[in-house]
A and B are shown apart, each in its own frame.
Chain A
Amino acid sequence: MPIQYYIYLSLALFCIGIAGVLTRRNAIIIFMSVELMLNAVNLLLVAFSKMHHAVATAVDKVNNVGTDGQIFVFFVMVVAAAEVSVGLAIIVMMYRNAHSVDVNFLNRLKN
C-alpha cells in the first residue's frame, strides 16, 4: 500500500484524539483520547518501519532494516502501560477528593 494512506489514517486518528482532548471534560475520556493518539503514532511507526524495510529489501534480500521502528513501538507500549497505571491512580485520587472527574476542577494553579 502507498505509505501516504497509512499516514493519512494515522493523522486522522491522531486528530480525532486531539479533538477528544479538546472537546471533552471527563478526565477518563481525555486519557483515552491520549491513548488513541499514542496508537496512531504506533501505527505510523510500524508503517514507516515496513516502508524502510521495503526500500532496503529492494537492494539486499537479507536485512533487518526497520527493526528499530518496531522496537520503538514496543517501548511506547511499555511507557503507555506505566503511564496508564499512574494516571488512573491520579484520576481515582481526584475523584475521591472532588467527587468528579471534570478536568475544570483542576484549576487550583490559577490562584
Chain B
Amino acid sequence: MSQLVYLVPLLPLAGFLINGLLRKSLSKQAVSIIGCGVILIAFLISLGLFFQVKANGPIIQTYFNFIDIKGLNIPFSFQVDALSVLFMLIITGVGFLIHVYSTSYMHEESTPHFARYFSFLNLFVFSMLLLVMGGNYLILFLGWEGVGLCSYLLIGYWFKNTDYNYAAKKAFIMNRIGDVGFLLGIFWLVAKLGTLTYGNVFAAAGNLSAVDVTGITILLFIGATGKSAQIPLYTWLPDAMAGPTPVSALIHAATMVTAGVYMIARSNILYSMSAVTENVIAIIGIATVLLAATIAIKQNDIKKVLAYSTVSQLGYMFLGLGVGAYNGAVFHVMTHAFFKALLFLGAGSVIHAMGNEQDIRKMGGLRKYMPVTHITFLLGCLAISGIPPFSGFFSKDEILAAAYAKNPVLWVLGVAGAALTAFYMFRLYATTFLGSFRGTHDQEHHLHESPAAITLPLIALAILSVIGGWIGIPAVMIPDANAFHHFLQPVITTEAIAEMPHATEWLLMVVSVAVAVIAILIALGKFTKRPELNEPQGLGGFLAHKWYIDELYDAVIVNPLNALAGFFKNIIEKSGIDGIVNGVGRFILYSSRQVRLVQSGQVGSYILFMVLAIIVLVLIWINDGYIYTYLSKIF
C-alpha cells in the first residue's frame, strides 16, 4: 500500500491535465467521470493508507532531492501519518462528494468551461494533498501556494463579472500578505536549523532560543491567518463567495481554509514551546469568533452568512490551537468539514432552485418544496450549533473545555460565540425554510427538489454530520471512547490535558448546550413569522456593514497605497524616469543631428578632418608617447 502513496496526489493532477488540455474535445459526461473518478480512486487509496497507518504507524516516502546545496538538503518526500491521513480522507472524501454535486450544479455551463471548472477543482485537490502529505515545510508551502492559486482561479471562475475578479484578486493578495510571513518563518527555520523536514525540525527544536521559537511560530501563524481567514486577514473569505457554491463548500469551508490549522497542529511541538504565541493565537481566535459571529447575524445573503460562520468556526479552531487543544482543533476541522460542506451544498441547492437568488429575504417556506434539502440543512444547523449528539457538539465542547482550563474568560466568550452561532444559523434556517414564500410567482412555480446528484451528497454529508462526532466522545461520558485522541497520539505529542472535576465538565457542557438551545428558540420564535425584511438600523446596520472593516482597510491601507502608487506613477514615473529616458533619447537625437553635419559628403572637409586628426595624433605622440605605449600593449 505504501508504494501507492504518490498516486494520491498524482491522480488529481492527471485529472487536471486531462480535463484541462482536452476541454474542447471531451463531452461533459467524460469530464465528470474523469474528474470524479480520480478523486474517488485517491479516496480509496487514502482509505487503504488510513488502515495501514493505523496498524503500522507513519509512512515516509522520499522520491528525489528537491533542493540539494551545501548545508541545505530538502528532499521531495511525503509523510503519511495519522494527521495527514486524516486530512487526506477529509479532502478526498468530502472532495469526492462535492465533485459529484458539481456535475449537476455546474451542468448549465458550456462544455469547455465545465471542463475548466473540473480541471481547476482537480488541481485544487492535488495542491491540497501536496500540502498535507508533504514531508517538510517546503512541500507544504508548495501546496500552500497551489491552493491559493486554485482559490483565485475558482473565485474568478465567472471571469466576465468584474466584481468577481476583484474578489479573486482580493483573496489572492490577502493570502500573499500571509504567505510572506510564512515564507519568512521558513527562512528563519532554515537559518537556525538548516533543515525543513518535520522530524528533524521537531527533534532539534529544543536547541532554539525562546526568541527564535516565538518569532518562527508567529511568522508561520501570520501565514495561517491569511490562509485560514483570521483577524486581520479574514476579509477575503466573505468576498470569495463570488465563486460557484461547490467551490465555496470545498475550498472556502471544508479544506483550504483549514490548512492553517493543519500547519499549526503539525508544528504543535514548536507552538507549545512558546507561551506568547499560544496566547496570541487564542486571543485572535476568540476575537475572530465573536467578530464574525456578530457580523453573520445581520447578513441577508445566504452564502455570506455561511462565510462569516466559517470565519467564526475557524476562530474556534484557532482558539483550540491557542489553548493547547490540538486534538480538539483537528477534530473540529473534521466535523466542520462535514457540516459546513453540507450547509454550503444545501445553500447551493436552494440557490439553484431559486434561480440564482441568494437573498434570504426573498425566500421563506422552502420546507414544503425541498424536503431533502430542508432536512439535511436542519441537521447541519443543529450540528454547527453544538446540540448533542450531533458532531459539532463534541468538537466544540472539547475546545471549550480546554479553554476553560486555560482561562475561564475564554470559555465565557466561547460560549457567547456558540450562542451567537446558534442564533444566526437558526435565523438563516427560519428565514429560508420556515414561514411563507416571499419570492416572485415565477420563482415559486419553478421551485423543485434538486436532482439526485445534488441530494445524494447532501444525505451522505448529513449522515457524517450526525455521527461524525462519535469517534471523539469525551472521557467523561464514556471512558476510553475517544478513538480520535488515540489515533492522533503519535503526531500530537504536546496535547494540554484539561484536568478538572467531572462535575465541572458536565456543568460546562450543560451550560453551553442550554445557551445554544435558548438562542435557537429565540431565533425560531423571532424569525419564523416576522423575518427581518427591512434594512437594519443602528447597531444592526453597523453589524450589517461588517463593522466597516473593509472601509477601515480601504482608508488606512488601500487608499494611502493607491495615493503613493499614483504619486510614483504620475510624478516619479512620468516626470522622473520618463524624463531621464526621453532625455537620453532626445539628447542622442539632437547630438546625432549635429554630428551628422560633419558627414557633409564633401571630399574637402573629409581631408581636412584627416589632416587635423594627423596633427592631433602627432601632438599626442610627441608629448608623452602615451598612445604609442598603449597601442603597443594591446598588439
B55 at the interface (CB under 8 A from A): no
B603 at the interface (CB under 8 A from A): yes
Q: Which of A45-53, A60-68, A72-80, A100-108 contacts B (4 or more CB under 8 A)?
A: A100-108
A21 at the interface (CB under 8 A from B): yes
Write out the residue numbers on chain A whose beta carbons fall within 8 Å of the beta carbon of B600: 107, 110
Residue pair B599, A104 in contact (C-beta under 8 Å): no
Q: Which of B185-193, B442-450, B604-612 contacts A (4 or more CB under 8 A)?
A: B604-612
Taking the nearest CB of chain B, how far is it from the CB of A72, in angstroms? 22
Give A21 to B610 CA distance when docked, in angstroms.
12
Write out the residue numbers on chain A whose beta carbons fall within 8 Å of the beta carbon of B599: 110
List the B residue with the shortest CB-CB distance to A24.
B604
Choose one: A22, A103, A111; the contact of B608 (CB below 8 Å).
Answer: A22
Residue pair B601, A109 in contact (C-beta under 8 Å): yes
List the B residue with the shortest CB-CB distance to A25.
B604
List the A residue with the shortest CB-CB distance to B601.
A110
B162 at the interface (CB under 8 A from A): no
Give A22 to B605 CA distance when docked, in angstroms.
8
Q: Which of B590-621 contact A (CB under 8 A)?
A: 599-604, 607-608, 611
A16 at the interface (CB under 8 A from B): no
Taking the nearest CB of chain A, how far is it from the CB of B607, in angstroms? 6
Choose one: A21, A104, A106, A110; the contact of B607 (CB below 8 Å).
Answer: A21
A41 at the interface (CB under 8 A from B): no
Interface of chain B, main secondary structure: helix
A18 at the interface (CB under 8 A from B): yes
Residue pair A107, B607 in contact (C-beta under 8 Å): no
Taking the nearest CB of chain B, how far is it from the CB of A13, in angstroms? 16
Residue pair A18, B601 in contact (C-beta under 8 Å): no
Give A108 to B600 CA distance when docked, in angstroms.
10
Residue pair B604, A103 in contact (C-beta under 8 Å): yes
Taking the nearest CB of chain B, how far is it from the CB of A67, in angstroms? 31
Residue pair B601, A22 in contact (C-beta under 8 Å): no
List the B residue with the shortest CB-CB distance to A103.
B603
Taking the nearest CB of chain B, how far is it from the CB of A48, in angstroms? 20
Residue pair B607, A22 in contact (C-beta under 8 Å): yes
Residue pair A22, B603 in contact (C-beta under 8 Å): no
Write out the residue numbers on chain B whose beta carbons fall within 8 Å of the beta carbon of A22: 604, 607-608, 611
Write out the residue numbers on chain A whose beta carbons fall within 8 Å of the beta carbon of B603: 103-104, 106-107
Taking the nearest CB of chain A, how far is it from the CB of B248, in angstroms? 71
Taking the nearest CB of chain B, how far is it from the CB of A106, in angstroms? 6
Interface readout for B253-287 with A: 1 if CB under 8 Å, 0 if not?
00000000000000000000000000000000000
Give A111 to B602 CA distance when docked, in angstroms.
12
Write out the residue numbers on chain A whose beta carbons fall within 8 Å of the beta carbon of B602: 103-104, 107
Write out the residue numbers on chain A whose beta carbons fall within 8 Å of the beta carbon of B608: 22
Residue pair B601, A108 in contact (C-beta under 8 Å): yes
Give A111 to B611 CA distance when docked, in angstroms.
24
Write out the residue numbers on chain A whose beta carbons fall within 8 Å of the beta carbon of B611: 18, 22
Give A22 to B609 CA distance when docked, in angstroms.
10
Give A100 to B263 CA distance when docked, in angstroms.
93
Taking the nearest CB of chain B, how far is it from the CB of A59, in angstroms? 32
Give A111 to B601 CA distance when docked, in angstroms.
8
Write out the residue numbers on chain B whose beta carbons fall within 8 Å of the beta carbon of A108: 601
Give A103 to B608 CA distance when docked, in angstroms.
14
Give A5 to B608 CA distance when docked, in angstroms.
27
List the B residue with the shortest CB-CB distance to A107.
B601
Give A21 to B600 CA distance when docked, in angstroms.
17
Q: Which of B207-236 contact A (CB under 8 A)?
A: none
Taking the nearest CB of chain B, how far is it from the CB of A28, in angstroms? 14
Give A70 to B611 CA distance when docked, in angstroms.
28
Taking the nearest CB of chain B, how far is it from the CB of A74, in angstroms? 27
Taking the nearest CB of chain B, how far is it from the CB of A47, in angstroms? 21
Give A103 to B600 CA distance when docked, in angstroms.
13
Give A21 to B605 CA distance when docked, in angstroms.
10
Write out the residue numbers on chain B whose beta carbons fall within 8 Å of the beta carbon of A104: 602-604
Q: Which of B561-613 contact A (CB under 8 A)?
A: 599-604, 607-608, 611
Q: Which of A5-48 contact B (CB under 8 A)?
A: 18, 21-22, 25
Write out the residue numbers on chain A whose beta carbons fall within 8 Å of the beta carbon of B601: 107-111
Taking the nearest CB of chain A, how far is it from the CB of B406, in angstroms? 90
List the B residue with the shortest CB-CB distance to A110.
B601
List the A residue with the shortest CB-CB distance to B603.
A103
Give A21 to B604 CA distance when docked, in angstroms.
8
Give A25 to B603 CA distance when docked, in angstroms.
9
Taking the nearest CB of chain A, how far is it from the CB of B594, in angstroms? 16
Taking the nearest CB of chain A, how far is it from the CB of B595, in angstroms? 14
Give A51 to B262 CA distance when docked, in angstroms.
101
Give A107 to B599 CA distance when docked, in angstroms.
10
Taking the nearest CB of chain B, how far is it from the CB of A39, in angstroms? 19
List the B residue with the shortest CB-CB distance to A106.
B603
Taking the nearest CB of chain A, how far is it from the CB of B340, in angstroms? 79
Write out the residue numbers on chain B whose beta carbons fall within 8 Å of the beta carbon of A106: 603
Taking the nearest CB of chain A, how far is it from the CB of B619, in angstroms? 16
Write out the residue numbers on chain B whose beta carbons fall within 8 Å of the beta carbon of A111: 601
List the A residue with the shortest CB-CB distance to B611.
A18
Give A22 to B614 CA distance when docked, in angstroms.
14
Taking the nearest CB of chain A, how far is it from the CB of B211, in angstroms? 76
Known: A22-B604, A103-B602, A110-B599. 10 other contacts (CB 8 A): A22-B607, A22-B608, A22-B611, A25-B604, A103-B603, A106-B603, A107-B600, A107-B602, A107-B603, A111-B601
A-B contact pairs, 10 of them (CB 8 A): A21-B607, A22-B604, A22-B611, A103-B604, A104-B602, A104-B603, A104-B604, A106-B603, A107-B601, A107-B603
Please report A residues at the B interface, Cβ cutoff 8 Å: 18, 21-22, 25, 103-104, 106-111
4 closest Cβ contacts across the A-B interface? Answer: A110-B601, A107-B601, A103-B603, A104-B602
